[in-house]
Amino acid sequence: MALPPLVEPAAELSIDEIRRYSRHLIIPDVGMDGQKRLKNAKVLVVGAGGLGSPALLYLAAAGVGTLGIVDFDTVDESNLQRQVIHGVSDVGRPKAESAAASIAEINPLVNVVIHNTALDRDNVKEIFSQYDLIVDGTDNFATRYMVNDAAVLLGKPYVWGSIYRFDGQASVFWEEHGPCYRCLYPEPPPPGMVPSCAEGGVLGVLCASIGSIQVNEAIKLITGIGEPLVGKLMVYDALEMEYRKIRVRKDPNCALCGDNPTVTDLLEDYEDFCGAVSDEAQEATLDATITARELKDWQDAGKDVFLVDVREPAEYEINRIPGSVLIPKGEILSGEALSRFPQDRQIVLHCKSGVRSAEALAAIKAAGFKDAVHVQGGIVSWVNTVDPSQPSY
């Protein structure tokens, strides 16, 4: 369905702008009015990587008046195979700054706003509120869910894209007019089931294919032309050179935008929700992971275990493993609670699913408690395999 233009047109175009955008101006559907809307638009691109690179270049070339870039990473040689906004001389440079310099070469008339920071629950709403439209070029599920949730809560439309090896997807999520990302993917995949681009690779040119689709959708939304991908998922197979369009309907049971939402604010920990752990945590868990059943066997055998629940107090009130003490992960990572850990007992950490306890385990081991372990699957596994009488959440 056609939608009204997202932004009002700017007052006028300068002579330089008329010369620059002449090929747009002679398209009847765009014309002077559409180009003025592009000039007046404020678009934030999340990530200056594979998808963000072509998106930023073409948004700038198209004449989007204000372009925001949020990225805290630096340019690495492995990026250059697909992240075409950066060059060899940019290696080691913050991506947001490198991207801004390239945009200035493409179109110095664009106002570039750099957010050289990690997007998180503390800043995402404040950053998003400054823009009309979000273009999501992220490459991990935790940030994707956070971008979606923040956009829905703020009433912002956003253009989403995803790439992996030879396959790409794109859609427009706008809760006011259609489904959100959670309608399509209510739950993240289990950790490790979907490899990242760093693990599985991506054909460099695929970024341009999907990134250009994202820009095309952004222009349509801003100017109010054509039929955007709201309620539709575009799937691209580069090997078969095949595009498919799949209808996506708004889910009345969606936890965020459904009839009775249960997610009414940003989650406390999206990494935990998506089951993602840091490299340090993954290393810490090697040969230091036990099952819930093994923990129960240790308890039954009378082993002297110091069992620590690293969740938050509200979660501890819902359910707990007998004999556990509550020491939230934050207090462990800050070092505040390290003095509470005994040197002469077997330390066992657990959380809800094993993500937070893995992060806490890395901190504990770094502090010298080399024999500490954590419970795989956390209290979810305990409830499922040891004590089903406990409530789950």
Q: Mind telling me the catalytic residues?
A: 197, 351
DSSP 74: B
| Runs of H (alpha helix) within 108-175 | 124-128, 141-154
Helix H or strand E segment including 43: strand 42-46
The strands making up 158-164's β-sheet, listed across from edge to edge, are 111-115, 66-70, 42-46, 133-136, 158-164, 167-173, 232-237, 242-247
Q: Rounded to whole angstroms, how far apart are CA atoms 384 and 360?
A: 23
**Closest residue by Cα to residue 349 from 313, 303, 309, 379:** 309
CA separation (Å) from 146 to 191, 215, 311?
17, 21, 20
Q: Answer yes or no: are the C-beta atoms of 53 and 84 closer than 8 Å.
A: yes
Q: Output the DSSP codes for 324-345.
A: -EE--HHHHHTSTTGGGS-SSS
HSE-up (13 A, CA, CB side) for residue 20: 18
Given the structure tokens 């009433």, which residue do they identify?
Answer: 155
94: which strand partners? 74
Other C-beta atoms closer than 10 Å to the C-beta of 8 total 10
Q: ∠132-215-70 over CA atoms, to 5°?
A: 55
Q: Is 273 in a helix, a strand, or coil?
A: helix
- The residues, ordered by sequence, that sit 6+ positions from 99 with a Cβ below 8 Å of its Cβ are 48, 52, 53, 56, 69, 71, 85, 86
Q: Reduce the DSSP state of residue 243 to 3 states and report it.
A: strand
Instruction: Give the containing element (helix H, strand E) for 227.
Output: none
**Roughly how many angstroms between the first and final C-alpha of the chain, as a whole number?**
39
